[in-house]
DNA sequence: CGACTGTTTGACTTGGTTCAATGTACGTGG
DNA sequence: CCACGTACATTGAACCAAGTCAAACAGTCG
């Protein structure tokens, strides 16, 4: 099994196992506030003993679960402020992998009793992550492939700040396979949905991983903005 | 739209809107520790302004989300100790409905700052609910119909206490439609899955809402006990 | 320029949905 | 006590959205 780098986070320097080519610079520079981790690095493994709760300070992390036969579900996409490393019992419930170069801050579980501010922050964040999971469950359980992909793209590009710069394009730091595992589809179906959204003029595909939303209203209608 | 009884919870007596026939006794007896609510009562509505966090003290509650066209997803099943009434922004993210007669305790959001013990309890519970949602996402995104139903049944009947009384039967306080909305299927598919599990001898159906697990190992294998 | 990795598209198959009866438990009132 | 009505569950047959298998295409790197 691939080695997670959990043990090296927050201690000294962090080397890492990576997928494909090496993206980011060298090992961690900041010993205390957190650890810099390159893209495509496994941070922890489902089933390993749960010791610490981790915070994404910068970057993007995905949480995944596996079925014994290898089917994979990306259960959550995390950004700055989000927490991971949750345990059911004493083992991690999910594996965690960076999507982009990230800064990760570990929190000892024992610190929660002592640090009320951290506990309050964690509470707010858990509430928000729980709401996001509810929306994700609705998408997985009841939306069509096209609707799920619209939902996904809106999630990546939340709102154009009021009166702010017009919709730029988003860089999608995930492969079609990863998006499919997030949405409960196959990569082919995701690809077809992208093409269909493009054909309908709701979206422009600059590159495979560079998307621009052209018709936000229609996208929201597709994604079931209640 | 149906009226939620939120406003009457924790105040005086609680009448309620109900589905089908009236099940439970009269209005609430205990004014302070919580409110007794009969089965099939809507406790709060998705989209309503979020004021309080609620705790299930006794009974069973389901959280649901709707798509504009009426498709429904049961996003969470709650039992004693679980919390609901979460907000994305300032509105409830889900509707909540009792499955059985229940005792519900409201907590003012402001109380979290003052009551550290409550905050700690809430934190632990949110962590556990988040883990459950992760497992649910795996089921919704990657499991077949049969696997999802096995997963659901195991969830209702967690573990036979070590050395404790042999597997009794569980009463399922949900219709096939509600189970389907929980598992992202149709009621017909859920029904066929029950029949198939019975045909394979993994399960015995005493009545439509009374199930006994006959072969826990096979059920766990189906549900992907990792 | 290849070689590689990931994406798109096409043709075919299939698990689950849809539509349509039929079956079954339960409560009510004659 | 039994006939009837209602609500829910089961089963069957036809259909379709998404999956599977397979091939061609497009960037990127050495």
Buried b (16+ CB within 10 A) or exposed e, A4-21: bbbebbbeeebebebeee
What nucleotide is nearest B183 when CA is compared to C1'? Answer: C16
**A193 or A26, higher pLDDT:** A193
Report, as an integer, the average pLDDT of B121-148.
97
Q: Name which of A58-72, A104-118, B139-153 the model is least confident about.
A: A104-118
Q: B61, B136, B138: best mutation site toward chain A, by most A Cβ within 10 Å?
A: B138
**Per-residue pLDDT at B29:** 41
CB neighbourhood size of A208 (10 A):
11
Q: For chain A, what percent of residues have pLDDT higher than 90?
A: 73
Report, as an integer, the average pLDDT of A3-20.
51
pLDDT surpasses 50 at B13: no
**CATH superfamily of domain region B6-139:** Jelly Rolls (2.60.120.10)
Q: Measured from the CB, is A73 under 7 Å from any atom of strand C?
A: no
pLDDT surpasses 90 at B112: no
DSSP conformation class of B70: S
Q: Name which of A38-52, A63-77, A202-216, B164-178 the model is least confident about.
A: B164-178
Q: Measured from the CB, is A73 under 7 Å from any atom of strand D?
A: no
Determine contact, residues A123/A129, Cβ cutoff 8 Å: no
Q: How far is the CA of A127 from the C1' of C18 (A)?
A: 38
**Per-residue pLDDT at B75:** 98
Q: What is the pLDDT of residues B55-83, one digit of tens each?
A: 999 999 999 999 999 999 999 999 999 99
**Per-residue pLDDT at B12:** 40
Report, as an integer, the average pLDDT of B185-198.
98
Token pair 């009374």 in the structure block, residue = B210
Give the CATH number of domain B144-222.
Answer: 1.10.10.10
CA–CA distance, B213 with B167 (Å, rounded to integer): 7
Every domain of chain B and the residues it spans: 6-139, 144-222
Q: A68, A72, A123, A130: best mutation site toward chain B, by most B Cβ within 10 Å?
A: A130
Report, as an integer, the average pLDDT of B148-169.
83
Q: Measured from the CB, is A175 under 7 Å from any atom of strand C?
A: yes
**Per-residue pLDDT at A9:** 72
User: Which chain A positions have a beta carbon within 8 Å of B131's beta carbon?
Assistant: 86-88, 93
Report, as an integer, the average pLDDT of B30-40.
78
**A214 or A26, higher pLDDT:** A214
CATH 3.40.250.10 fits A143-222, yes or no: no
CA–CA distance, B205 with B213 (Å, rounded to integer): 9
Q: What is the pLDDT of residues A111-155, one digit of tens each?
A: 888 888 899 999 999 999 999 999 999 999 999 999 999 999 999
**Per-residue pLDDT at B3:** 60
3-state secondary structure at position A43? strand
Q: Measured from the CB, is B23 under 7 Å from any atom of strand C?
A: no
pLDDT surpasses 60 at A25: no
pLDDT surpasses 50 at A24: no
Q: What is the mean pLDDT of chain A?
A: 87
Q: Name which of B12-21, B74-83, B98-107 the model is least confident about.
A: B12-21
CA–CA distance, B127 with A14 (Å, rounded to integer): 28
Q: How far is the CA of B28 from the C1' of C3 (A)?
A: 74
How many Cβ pairs closer than 8 A exist between chain A and B? 142
User: Which chain A positions have a beta carbon within 8 Å of B93's beta carbon?
Assistant: 131, 134-135
Strand D proximity: list residues 123-182 of B with CB under 7 Å. Answer: 175-177
- What strands lie across the sheet with B35-37, from one edge to the other? B35-37, B102-108, B52-58, B83-84
pLDDT surpasses 80 at A201: yes
**A73 or A15, higher pLDDT:** A73
Token pair 């077809």 in the structure block, residue = A192
**Per-residue pLDDT at B9:** 73
- pLDDT band per the 50, 70, 90 thresholds, residue A159: confident
**Per-residue pLDDT at A126:** 97
**Per-residue pLDDT at A168:** 78
Q: What is the mean pLDDT of chain B?
A: 87
Given an 8 Å threshold on Cβ–Cβ distance, is B142 in contact with A184? yes
CA–CA distance, A70 with A76 (Å, rounded to integer): 18
Q: Measured from the CB, is A186 under 7 Å from any atom of strand D?
A: yes
Q: Measured from the CB, is B206 under 7 Å from any atom of strand D?
A: no
CA–CA distance, B60 with B39 (Å, rounded to integer): 9
CA–CA distance, A54 with A114 (Å, rounded to integer): 17
């Amino acid at each position: 099994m691939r080695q997670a780098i959990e043990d090296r986070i927050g201690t000294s320097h962090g080397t890492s196992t990576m997928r494909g080519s090496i993206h980011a610079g060298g090992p961690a520079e900041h010993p205390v506030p957190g650890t810099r981790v390159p893209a495509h690095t496994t941070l922890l493994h489902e089933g390993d003993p749960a010791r610490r709760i981790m915070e994404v300070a910068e970057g993007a992390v995905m949480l995944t679960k596996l079925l014994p036969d290898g089917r994979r579900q990306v259960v959550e996409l995390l950004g700055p402020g989000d927490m991971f490393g949750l345990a059911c019992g004493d083992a991690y419930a999910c594996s965690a992998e960076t999507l982009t170069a990230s800064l990760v801050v570990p929190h000892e579980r024992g610190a929660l009793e002592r640090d009320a501010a951290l506990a309050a922050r964690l509470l707010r964040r858990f509430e928000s992550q729980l709401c996001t999971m509810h929306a994700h469950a609705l998408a997985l359980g009841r939306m069509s492939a096209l609707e799920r992909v619209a939902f996904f793209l809106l999630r990546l590009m939340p709102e154009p700040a009021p009166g702010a710069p017009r919709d730029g394009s988003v860089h999608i730091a995930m492969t079609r396979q990863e998006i499919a595992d997030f949405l409960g589809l196959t990569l082919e179906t995701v690809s077809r949905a992208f093409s269909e959204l493009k054909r309908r003029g709701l979206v422009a595909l600059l590159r495979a991983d560079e998307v621009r939303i052209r018709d936000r209203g229609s996208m929201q209608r597709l994604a079931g903005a209640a």
